[in-house]
Amino acid sequence: MNSSGIKRGLATTAIAALAVTGVPAIANAAPLNTVVGADAVQVVNPDGGISARNDGTNGTYRLTALGGTNVTSVTFSYSLNGAAGPFVNIGSAARNDNGVFAFEWDPSSIAGAAAVTIRATATGPAAASTDDSDAPVAVNNNLATTNITNGETVGVFQQPYGAAGDNQNVIVDGTSSNAGSTPALSFFDGTTVTPAGTAVSTNAAGATTGTWAGVLDISGYDYAGANDELLVQATDVTSDTEAFALYRQTISSVTAATTTTGANSSTVVVTVLDQNQRPIAGARVASSAGGAAEFTDRLGRATFTQSAGTAYYYADATEATGYQAGLGDQRSADVTVDQYVPVATALEAESDNGTAFDIDEYDAANDITVQVNDQRGNDFGGAGQVVQYYWTLTAFDGTTGTPRTPATGTSTAVTGANGQAVVTLPYSEAGTYTLFAGVAANPATGTGAVPSAQLLQVKAGESEVVFDNTDPASAPAGGDITVTGSLELEDGTGLAGRPIDLSYTGGNAAFDQATGPDAAVRRVVTGANGAFSATLDDPATAAGVAQPTENGTIVATTADYVETGSTPADTDNPGATGDLDVIFSQATAPAASTVEITGLGGAVRPGEANTGTVLVEDASGAPIANQTVTLTVDGDTFFTDGTYTGAAGSEGGVLRSLGKSITVATDANGEADFQVGIGRSEDFDDDSEAADTVTATLATAGTTASVSDTAVANFDSTNPLNVGEITIEPTDDEGFLPEARVGDRVVFDVFVTDQFGNLTDVTVNLSDNTGFADVYGNFFGGNTAQSDFLSDGDFVAEAQQEVDQTITASYTQGSVNVDGNGNAVAGPNETVSDTYTVEWYEYNLADGTVTITSSPEGEVMVGMPVTETVRVVDSEGNPVQGLDVRFIRQGPGDSADGDANFVTTTNRNGEAFYTFVGTEAGTANITVSVTDGDDVLTAQDQVVFVAEPGPVDPDPAVVIANLSANNNGAKPDRLKVVTGEPRSAGAVVKFFRIKASGGNVQVGQGVLDDMGQLKKNVKDVNGKKFSRYFARVLPTDDSLGDRSNNTRVR
């Protein structure tokens, strides 16, 4: 961004300078709205080339203008034909900074224009006045940009030291589009722009844009008094100007801190700040211990070396030397540096190539060093110290040939005078190398030993330039392609800071450059993750001239660079290459052209790519080359290049996604291939199948804007590419597991997923831990079961006596891994298993309990139906299903309805029901008998029938709790309990999660509402896997309690 925020006014002698340099003249230090006539407007910026290249602050260009007191807003516009116009509107701005009107503009739509005139048009009560930029300027977004940090004020330190070289220092900082930018600094004074300093780069390593700061010496500036203003310019490839209110700095505080400490001395950094707590540049600083004075830099800092002892540091406020508090000098607190006897204590390793590098960059002579440090972290010098070391290796592909070098013992290296030794990397194959090292004791004294420890871990291998773009990359002819990629080792680790030369052949397309015109070659430098990008432009033809298509190739080659920090200087090059085909295609096909999708054959597995082809032909059936086609796909399917993500040797199957929509360009046969893939999809979970639609759209000339074709991409999860997990789940009818009665059959489902969580259909092996119980497949018998997509019972467990039976379900298959190029390779067999423990107990009906209740309770009108409910539970309190139940009724009307003896069986809740009608007044005696064929339990109840009902004291209502749930993925599981009994309102409900290993844990609690219902969200603890729940409704004075059914939810 180039910006020129002129604020308020300037000192009188600065006015002429503005006129000379093309910046609007300001008459005096009055507000800016009086600089020009009351109804006038004047363009301030631009005053040179325009670029929207990101300067580290933003990617726009700041247009500014001055307006008189009557001007309420300014409209900016541009012309490509000078003052004659026509002018195209850019935007309007209200007055926003003491007379300045500013608008942030993105000029990209006219990038490349060689002569652009900017016009400012005033809005006010008078007729609109205009002003144009002094001369037409170029709009070139390749131009490097710089930006002075905006602010209201800056301070000036007027050195008072009585020397001919005393300066008047102003600290200026900003940003730039180029990392490492060091703009020249100047200020407007008198009749000229006065050069007054050069900034230094302050950006961090690996930054893609720059930051800078510098000291501007404004000696010669003519101060006006209370309203001094300073207009500053920073110039690199382009320039920026900013105006500030100027204040005089006085020394306000001095602080001092040690940074590095040696055995006999320390480095001390002194910081001097002004009355606004801003740094002062050029302040003279000295130590109370004596020695030469130092002057503060752009950060307000001066650096000293202090010997052992105590000293303070002071900044001189006058010419007088020595600390003079009465003259305004300021001093720091005391700084104490002590002495110590250094002892070899620890080691520190460093790789000049960083923690990841191409083995071609490695230089055994000096690249990896070990430094001996003392107890305070300082270098422990001394030649002849013996460093003992060894390396371990983990290969990227998982098949390490030499895991330790040397196989036993250690290698040795001897330190130089600085206590540093060079160690050798024993490279044998691509992988992660870990260095362990210590120092041997001096054999003459027995001292100086440092225990061995892990010091360094580096990755080394053969790098490759990998392009992110689909190959071939395509764009409409006359457009551009953003080329992205990275320099990577075999496991995908990026190499940062490496230069790469990109070259293009095949046509007249060219790369955008940092500065200057486009060219067929562009050098880029990889970022922190090894990534790079560049823009390849296909020049647009003039209006009315047909735009040709173009085919070409980009070749990427790593370039030589000087290794940072190496001594002596070391030139490295990874020696990596890569290439990418490019098509600049036509966006619109001739009228009556057609597009057709072929391929996409049979179903493939999740994690495998399905390949299709689009064919474009003209009206005569001839293929159309270099034609753009847009492809989209619905559902969970995505486009892919067919390669897997992940490090070499890791699990494959995760296809690199290109998104839901891509653009392809046809080859000479009018064809373009594409691939689609899928990962997780709920469509698989009911029948193993997923089918999504691919649509190809072709823009055409003539009356029909476009034509399209569709095809179906089919996927099948029956047999997994890589297995995910296996889960044993009791069916919903198994109400009180993990407890089960000896003699019952317990039915389970088994589910196996692929690596994405899709259900599969495979054969599972079954086993248990005891000879007193059995487990077998529900449909085929034996020790296997078939996992599927339904909760229909896959295997059965039974027991002959009390025992804890742990059931194991396991599945084994080969795996698919990924190599260093993203391709599939065979991996080792993988086994997944799950267990479930059933707690079998002996059952005796004689130890159980039978209860009988009637509804309604109390006296009942003759002719009204009465329902008797029997509930049977065993000694563990679990309901008993399948018992024979006989109801015998004696009393009024027992011979009238023909059901005085009623036989039924208990349901899964251990309940049986009998409904009858009393036809005359009196007492009905109901006896129920329950038997399993061996034992009998009985219970009795009475119902009084009256002609007129008396008061009723109702017994608690019978509650049947039903639990349901909705699949909610990885979000909280949503549970709902319904009793259908309003009299259970207010009952406490406890929710339990059934653990896979047996047992359960409470996960929530609530109260039934007036309708006998409760909804509850509980935390999902296993992502998209299944969980099983049940609920217990506790009894109240008005209702009985109940245990719900089991339910499962993903």
**Type of residue at 873:** V
Could you tell me if 786 and 780 are in contact, meaning their C-beta atoms sit under 8 angstroms apart? yes
The strand ranges marked E within 519-609 are 521-525, 531-537, 550-558, 561-562, 571-572, 577-585, 594-599
pLDDT band at 899 (very low <50, low <70, confident <90, very high): low
Burial (Cβ within 10 Å: 0-12, 13-18, ≥19) of residue 722 = buried
Question: Could you say which architecture CATH assigns to the domain 594-716?
Answer: Sandwich (2.60)
The CATH code of the domain at 463-543 is 2.60.40
- For the chain, how many residues are written? 1050
**Type of residue at 595:** V
**Which whole number is the average pLDDT over 949-967?**
74
The strand ranges marked E within 742-895 are 746-754, 763-768, 773-777, 784-786, 795-799, 803-818, 824-841, 849-855, 860-861, 865-873, 884-890
Query: Which helix (DSSP H) or strand (DSSP E) does residue 685 occupy?
Result: helix 684-687
Q: Which fold has domain 723-838?
A: Immunoglobulin-like (2.60.40)
pLDDT value of residue 225: 67
Q: Model's pTM, two decimal places?
A: 0.59
Q: Which of 126-130, 319-323, 1038-1042 shows the highest mean pLDDT?
A: 319-323
pLDDT at residue 223 greater than cutoff 90: no
Give the residues across from 534 on adjacent strands: 483
Give the sheet arrangement for strand 346-351, strand by strand. Answer: 346-351, 368-373, 420-422
- Measured in whole angstroms, how far is the alpha carbon of residue 834 from the centre of its chain? 33
Give the integer Cα–Cα distance in Å for 979 and 15: 88
Give the tens place of pLDDT for each residue, 924-956: 999 999 999 889 999 999 999 998 755 555 667
What SS3 string covers 69-131?
CCCCEEEEEEECCHHHCCCEEEEEEEEEECCEEEEEECHHHHCCCCCEEEEEEEECCCCCCEE
Q: Helix or strand or coil: residue 924?
A: strand
Pairing, β 330-331 against β 706-716: unpaired
Q: What are phi and psi of 327, to 5 degrees?
A: -95, 5
Homologous superfamily of domain range 845-946: Macroglobulin (MG2) domain (2.60.40.1930)
Q: Answer with the residue of higher pLDDT: 542 or 327.
A: 327
pLDDT value of residue 956: 79
Question: Could you say which architecture CATH assigns to the domain 346-461?
Answer: Sandwich (2.60)
Asked which of 529-543, 782-796, 990-1004 is least confident by mean pLDDT, the reply is 990-1004
Give the tens place of pLDDT for each residue, 507-530: 899 998 876 678 899 999 998 889
Pairing, β 1027-1033 against β 1047-1049: antiparallel
Query: Which residues make Cβ contacts (< 8 Å) with residue 330, sequence separation at least 6?
Result: 251, 252, 253, 254, 272, 314, 315, 317
What SS3 string covers 270-324?
EEEEECCCCECCCCEEEECCCCCCEECCCCCEEEEEEECEEECEEECCCCCCCCC
pLDDT at residue 680 greater than cutoff 50: yes
Place of tokens 């030291």: 161
What SS3 string covers 31-66?
CHHHCCCCCCEEEEECCCCECCCCCCCCCCEEEEEE
How far are the Cα atoms of 178, 179, 193, 230, 237 from residue 212, in angstroms, in the given order?
10, 9, 21, 19, 14
Dihedral through CA 1039, CA 1040, CA 1046, CA 1047, nearest 10?
Answer: 0
Q: What are phi and psi of 205, to 5 degrees?
A: -60, 135
pLDDT value of residue 762: 94
Query: For the residues of 849-881, what is the DSSP string, one character each?
Result: EEEEEEES-S-EETT-EEEEEEEEE-TTS-B--
pLDDT value of residue 314: 98
Half-sphere exposure of 295 (CA within 13 A, CB side): 12
pLDDT band at 685 (very low <50, low <70, confident <90, very high): confident
Domains 346-461 and 723-838 share a fold: yes
Asked which of 98-112, 478-492, 550-564, 944-958 is least confident by mean pLDDT, the reply is 944-958
Could you tell me if 198 and 155 are in contact, meaning their C-beta atoms sit under 8 angstroms apart? no
Query: Which helix (DSSP H) or strand (DSSP E) does residue 686 occupy?
Result: helix 684-687
Q: Answer with the residue of higher pLDDT: 239 or 75.
A: 75
pLDDT value of residue 259: 81
Give the integer Cα–Cα distance in Å for 66 and 371: 62
pLDDT band at 905 (very low <50, low <70, confident <90, very high): very high
pLDDT band at 781 (very low <50, low <70, confident <90, very high): confident
Residue 583 token pair:
């098509």
Residue 1050 token pair:
């993903």
Query: For the residues of 500-541, what is the DSSP string, one character each?
Result: EEEEEESSS-EE--SSSS-BSEEEEE--TTSEEEEEEE-PPP
Q: Can you give the C-alpha Rg of the chain in angstroms?
A: 43
Could you tell me if 608 and 716 are in contact, meaning their C-beta atoms sit under 8 angstroms apart? no
Give the integer Cα–Cα distance in Å for 349 and 532: 29
Give the integer Cα–Cα distance in Å for 442 and 447: 5
Give the tens place of pLDDT for each residue, 281-304: 999 999 999 999 999 999 999 999
pLDDT at residue 57 greater than cutoff 90: no
Q: What are phi and psi of 361, to 5 degrees?
A: -85, -15
- Measured in whole angstroms, how far is the alpha carbon of residue 973 from the centre of its chain? 25
pLDDT value of residue 566: 57
Give the integer Cα–Cα distance in Å for 373 and 362: 25
Give the tens place of pLDDT for each residue, 25-47: 332 333 444 557 889 998 877 87
Give the tens place of pLDDT for each residue, 618-655: 999 999 998 999 999 999 999 999 999 887 778 899 99
The CATH code of the domain at 962-1049 is 2.60.40.10
Q: Helix or strand or coil: residue 1038?
A: coil
* Average pLDDT, rounded, for the chain: 86
Q: Which of 268-282, 479-493, 540-554, 786-800 shows the highest mean pLDDT?
A: 268-282
Residue 336 token pair:
């104490």
Q: What are the domain boundaries of the chain?
A: 4-248, 259-283+297-337, 346-461, 463-543, 594-716, 723-838, 845-946, 962-1049
Across the chain, which distance is largest between two alpha carbons, in Å? 133
Query: Which helix (DSSP H) or strand (DSSP E) does residue 684 occupy?
Result: helix 684-687
pLDDT at residue 492 greater than cutoff 60: yes
How far are the Cα atoms of 44, 110, 349, 461, 740 from residue 457, in angstroms, in the given order?
56, 50, 9, 14, 55
pLDDT band at 226 (very low <50, low <70, confident <90, very high): low
pLDDT value of residue 965: 84
Give the tens place of pLDDT for each residue, 1020-1045: 777 666 788 889 998 888 888 888 88
Place of tokens 């067919």: 642
Give the integer Cα–Cα distance in Å for 213 and 184: 10
Question: Could you say which architecture CATH assigns to the domain 4-248?
Answer: Sandwich (2.60)
pLDDT value of residue 79: 94
Give the tens place of pLDDT for each residue, 351-385: 998 999 999 999 998 899 999 999 888 889 889 99
